[in-house]
Structure 1
Amino acid sequence: MQPFNKYYAPDWTPEKGSINKFNGTHAYGARAKKIDEGILVVRFELPYNIWCLGCNNHIGQGVRYNAEKKKVGNYHSTPIIQFRMKCHLCDNYIEIQTDPKNSVYVVVSGARKKMEEWDPEDTEVIQLQDEGIKEKLEADPMYRLEHNIKDKKNIDASKPHISQLQNLNESQWSDPYTKSQQLRKQFRQEKKKDKVEYEAAEKVRDKHSLGIELLPESVSDTIGAKSIEYAPLHLLEKKRLETAVKPLFDKKKYTTDEHLKDLSHVVKLHTRLKMDPFYNPSGFTKPSNSTKLKDIVVKPTKKKSRKEDGKPTLVSYTDSESD
């Protein structure tokens, strides 16, 4: 039964006093290790937002610490309690104590309070009465009567607004099924839209192998992306870009008729070689610059018959220009 603090040693008897006294421990256990100094470890929750002076980090309201609680004074008969705790982000210690006079917590050292002030009328929060008004209501019957009349006028003025809210609520929820149907329809549309955006984002992530979450596109992102000015390209990148967009045949180089004829002859010859593997280009000569295309004429092949060793044979040959 040790986990439940109900363990009784075999040699303990009720005549020896309490079990805690017999074992030499405190009822609060490790939380009372400094009980001789008047310090008890308690769970303390920050009453407001603070800035730690050790690491300059913001600590939000409601963060809980194991704080050393001790009494440091009195305000009349009310004790002033101090809480000392260590920041979870650094080694700095923060001290906060109560202020019974003003019913607030005060930061003594190690941090500073984040000032947040607002007008209760703007936030529509119930305004608490000041100490002066309370004392005047208790001491002056006439002032209390005037104050009651003023409160009744405020109630009468707020009735139309309350009635308007009630009528609006009744008109909106007169048919709960229809209202619920509209809400479910709107929810389905938003769900489909979110699914489409998620699938588009996943395609971009798969395409670029991204391991981060992509946020939805916004107008400010589009404007910012279009307003980016990139640095000039490197000289090597410029050369690569010019080579990629450069035409295959330079117009400046092939401007005369002679160069065009020369180029057309080379193209035809290469085409003939590719299409006819048995073609022998030795009978063709590359035309010179002075030779015109109309002067190049291929004469038909002549066939002659002769006898060799008493047997007639057919011999084919190509006439040259000298024939």
Structure 2
Amino acid sequence: MASTDPQATTTTSSKSHFIYNPYMPPSLAEQHVMAAGYPFVSTTVLDKNCRLNEHRHHSKNTHLILAGSITIVKSLDDEGRFRTAAKGPGTWVTLPGDVDYIGVPGEEGCTFVEGHTVLSPTTANRFYWRGGTIRVPEGHREVARMQGYNMGKWISPDLEGTTTGNKVHHKRAPGTLRKDGTQTVRFEMPFAVWCNHCKPHAIIGQGVRFNAEKKKVGYYYSTPIWCFRIKHVTCGGLLEIRTDPKNTAYVVTEGGKARDYGEPEDKVREGENGVPILTAAERERRRDDAFAQLEGRVEEKAAVKSNTKRIDELYRARERDWDDPWSVNKRLRTSFRHERKVLKREEDATEALKERLGTAIDLLPETDEDARRAKLVSYGDAEVEVNSADGKALFERKAPQRPTSSSSKPTKESRKDALRRRLITNTRAALNPFGGQT
């Protein structure tokens, strides 16, 4: 058997015929071939560029000597289950011929899964080195499915490759139709939309994604019109967005309105912002009605005149303000200079107050309402009472006084006065028992 690589060397033995890598020592290749211990006809060795020089398959098993690292993702163990095996450079690999190996380079109907490397055969039994990717046919996607993008759908190793996560966990696959013809899809906002349910109205930015209920609501000729109903998580309100095949756009029909970007090429479409949807007959009637055309032209002329007047007013105002840029800049800098000094004094006073109170809380600036409320606060004769309490001893003892009146029972008013004086004295003493100023 001749090799397609002129540098490849062909070695023949009594039991095998193999091609080894010219960049690998021949003794190592012969050692692996002789150590196989089971019948085979041909063996192929990968070259330096991870390509196979030539391979002819004549038996059930295929044997390879690797010149680089490889990961065989789909192979059979003794129990007939799929497993993953990693092999390094110079190691011996046996590929059973009755296994449907995943991936054929260039084959249609395959998908890429990153993070692995696989040796994939074609129907012509030619193997290719696929560095960094796995090509998975449609029928074997679950074999190389990546965990992490399928949270909640874990499959045990003994069931991997025989079923799907949806069947194991009794879940509906994303995007499947329900009995009423709807399905849940991932919808991305094509433009910014104002939500009418929020108070005040909030805007939903372009590119925000929602789980939307997709449903077919009609046709434009043979093109279906799709309706997407989403729920705004902030307020819980429902918004409905429909496709517009006629204008190749999206239209907000319920729960909100599209943001007006003010671009000249933008125009209000039928069914949006209160514009009625006209039937074909009504649109034809308006096209032939001369009065309807005249009304539209009169309204357009009035709008142009009003906009022109407003633009002239704004232009004159700007011209008046910036007739002398140097003087305008001087006034702005002078006013800011004085304001900056006031702000500096207020900041110093605030920092001093925070240091005196021992707090790091940011204090808000003083307002007129705070000043008015502070003036309304009255503390009475508290200062006189504090001074009298400070002048008294902490543990004062007085001799009991005999009543001077003929009646031995004190009156109700005298008891109240005595109790009030006692409470005030005790309170001041409790607040400052050492007689100092607070």
Q: TM-score normalized by structure 1?
A: 0.47
Q: Which has the larger radius of gyration?
A: 1
Task: Identify which of structures 1 and 2 has the higher relative contact order when contacts are C-alpha pairs closer than 8 Å and 6+ apart.
Answer: 1
Structure (1 or 2) with the greater strand fraction: 2
